[in-house]
Structure 1
Amino acid sequence: MQAKITKQDSSARAEQPKHDHTDKQSKSNEVFDSRKIEAKDIVPSLLLNRIESNYQTASFQALKKDILHAGGNVQPIKVRPTAGGKYEIVFGHRRHRACADLNLPVLAIVENLTDVQLWEQMERENRLRKNLSPFEQGMHYKLALDKTLFESIRRMAEAIGGDPGNIAKMLGLANLPQQVIEAFEKTSDIQVNWATPLKWALERDRDGMITRAENIATSRKTGNASVEKMSPKSVLAALVGSDYKNAANDSQLEIFSSNGQKRAVIKPGKGGTWRIDLSGPGLNLHVLEDKIKKILESS
């Protein structure tokens, strides 16, 4: 699989009281200050990468057909003005792309937004609609951190009301080597909870894992029947190997104080989680929470 990335993403629908998680055209009872804008005058946002293959799916073709039948997008997209009389998409990339392909003007709401405001609105729409895969969501978070919209994962999580642990996992997916990503038939196959075993395998034997990933991708391209039948979980297992499960079962870390007393035991739990058992008097849970958060943010 060639995971070609383009700075265009899937549409997030305009703000409505309810979200039905579809791109289906429907009328809204809300009143929008919207206008028709030529598709050529609207540019994709630089704050969200989107995989080009998403514009070749059956759902996108259905969206185009719906827009063609309606004579345009019924639900407006949102844009912000930029230099040179152009507009940058806040959300609605799929609708814009469909209108551009059909040579139709785009119904759009125009609002002046900062980079952070644009990113937050885009993130909220995509998250509520479950519009992005974990990998694409990770790319979204990575771009925001790379562009220093937020100083840390924790600050980002506070801004969007997200869980820092989940954000860190999705960032882990976005930071996977391209060879590993291409071992999967589709990036949408990669699950958020796979970030932990994939990271473990890379740290243990990066070269070996990349070689296995390249072999899987090459075999799929050449029509190897056994590889073509591999499920996403089978690909994960082939990349990580059986040692991960064995290591998870056997691993246990004991922490002792300066006077030799055992104060904590860290052991693996189910589904890639870890359990921390603490003992002894005088534990400051607030200090402990801060220290754990710092460790997670730096990992």
Structure 2
Amino acid sequence: MWRMHDRNGEEVTIESCSSLIESIKRHGQKHPVLGRRVQGRDGYEIELVYGARRLFVAQQLGRDLLIELTELDDRAALIAMDIENRVREDISPYERGRSYKRWLTAGYFKSQVEIAKELRISEAQVSRLLSYAELPAVVVSAFASPKDIREEWAVTLARRCREPECRDRMLPRARNLAKKRTQRASAQSIFDELVHVDADTKPIAARARHEVIRGADGKPLFRIAFRARDVHVIIGRNRVVPEVCETLVREIRAVLENGVSEVTAALQSAFKSPSRRGQAVSEASESQERFSDDADDHAANDRVKQKSRAEVRLGSRLV
């Protein structure tokens, strides 16, 4: 195999390849692997760009391997390998992320922007996948398999590992979890335990993607949207005149700097107080009923997105 192939050798086993073994036993190898000729490199005449599982199965069954030979430089070979594995959907995000990191380290690509452009995927996805490469081995070993680590978890774990205090608390916890892996804890519970920095700080629990905050009259004031990395407070633009916007910024800054998590109370206060609400009441009266309908119906999410609105972005400190 080519040294830059993206298959994790530990994941290529008789167990993981059992279905492929049975398929090739019964029907033979239907799809060739991709290879290219090399001149005396490590004593081999051909190196495989992709097809590690098919090579493993052929060796197990004592069969010849069907190879498509081509001429590719290293960069073209990387692109061909990534496309093949994404189409087959049998490569894990963990393996892809570590491969992209090696591509950058080896100088095949100058930046993750360049990778995204060549592979025709989003820069955001490349960034998320590269988070896997930042994870210490001990954190990965806490899970039964690297495949159990979701992309959004990798982003969160990598971010916490960049913070010295969080990292110092997380690594011993990961070692203990790795020792107790035989107890068959779920991947979700392992992630939850890793990201709990201390007894009083817990990650936002899995919940609905949107939460509607209502006033005393039962009508919506604003929505909270939960994302993988952020929490967004979404308010109809007609409700946010300059005075209200300034109040929101002041209240949220004060809440975050003071380490208090009751942002909802601060926002409700900003809208309910007549002195802060001011002109927003009259300007919002016509749009309030329409906003209520949209907020109540999560299935109408597309219509909500099309409305003019102001988003107050809250970072991951809102936990």
TM over 0.5: yes
- The answer on 1:272 being equivalent to 2:229 is yes
Aligned equivalent of 2:193? 238
Change (3 A) 1:145 1:244: farther
User: Which residue matches 1:209?
Assistant: 170
CA positional deviation for 1:268: 8.6
Task: Decide whether the 8 Å contact of 1:81 with 1:87 is kept in 2.
Answer: yes
Partner of 1:64: 21
2:24 & 2:72 partners in 1: Cα distance?
27
Query: How far 1:274 sits from its partner (Å)?
Result: 5.9
Cα deviation 1:175-219 (Å, max 9, x = unaligned): 210000000001100000112321232214212100000001112
- 1:230 is displaced (CA, Å) by 1.6
Q: Is the 8 A contact 1:54 1:60 kept in 2?
A: no
Larger radius of gyration: 2
Evaluate the alpha carbon distance shift between residue 113 and residue 276 of structure 1 in structure 2; reply closer, same or farther with a 3 A threshold.
farther
Letter in 2 for 1:241: H
Q: Which amino acid in structure 2 is aligned with residue 108 of structure 1? A: I
Report 1:75-94 matches (<5 A). Answer: 75-84=31-40, 86-94=45-53
Alignment match, 1:218? 179
Q: Post-superposition shift, 1:59?
A: 4.8
Residue of structure 1 in register with 2:92 after alignment: 133
Q: State the 1:161 CA deviation.
A: 0.5
Distance 1:244 1:168, change over 3 A: farther
Residue deviations 1:216-244 (CA, integer Å, cap 9, x gap): 11122xx4xxxx23211110110000625
In 2, Cα distance between equivalents of 1:139 and 1:171: 7
Q: Which residue of the partner structure matches residue 11 of structure 1?
A: none
Aligned position for 1:73: 29
Partners of 2:202 and 2:88 lie apart in 1 by: 34
Which consecutive residues of structure 2, in runs of 5 or more, have no partner in the other structure? 205-223, 235-239, 243-319
Which has the bigger relative contact order, CA under 8 A and spacing at least 6? Answer: 1
Relative to the length of structure 1, the TM-score reads: 0.64
Q: Which residue of 1 aligns with 2:77?
A: 118
Tell me the distance in 1 between the aligned counterparts of 2:26 and 2:145: 30
Structure 2 counterpart of 1:170:
129
Identical amino acids, percent of aligned pairs: 27
**Which letter does structure 2 place at the counterpart of 1:62?**
S
Counterparts of 1:122 and 1:276, CA distance in 2: 41
Following TM superposition, by how much is the alpha carbon of 1:45 offset from its aligned partner in structure 2, in angstroms?
1.7
SS at structure 2 position matched to 1:82: strand
Alpha-carbon displacement from aligned partner over 1:17-64 (angstroms, at most 9, x marks no partner): xxxxxxxxxxxxxxxxxxxxxxxxxxx121124333422254512212
Q: Is 1:78–1:91's contact at 8 Å kept on the other side of the alignment?
A: yes
Q: Secondary structure at the match of 1:172?
A: helix
Cα distance per residue 1:247-273 (max 9 Å; x no partner): xxxxxxxxxxxxxxxxxxxx9942223
Q: State yes or no: 1:147 paired with 2:83.
A: no
Moved over 3 A (4+): 273-277
Q: Which amino acid aligns with 2:38?
A: T
Q: Which amino acid aligns with 2:227?
A: K
Task: Assess, with a 3 A threshold, how the Cα gap between structure 1 residues 219 and 58 changes in structure 2: closer, same or farther.
Answer: closer
Shift of the 170–244 alpha-carbon distance from structure 1 to 2, 3 Å rule, reads: farther
User: 1:88-107 alignment to 2 at 5 Å?
Assistant: 88-107=47-66
Which residue identity lines up with residue 232 of structure 1 in the other structure?
A: A
Contact 1:126–1:132 (CA under 8 A) maintained in structure 2: yes
8 Å CA contact 1:200, 1:244 repeated in 2: no
Give 2:9's aligned residue. Answer: 52
Aligned Cα root-mean-square deviation (Å): 2.6
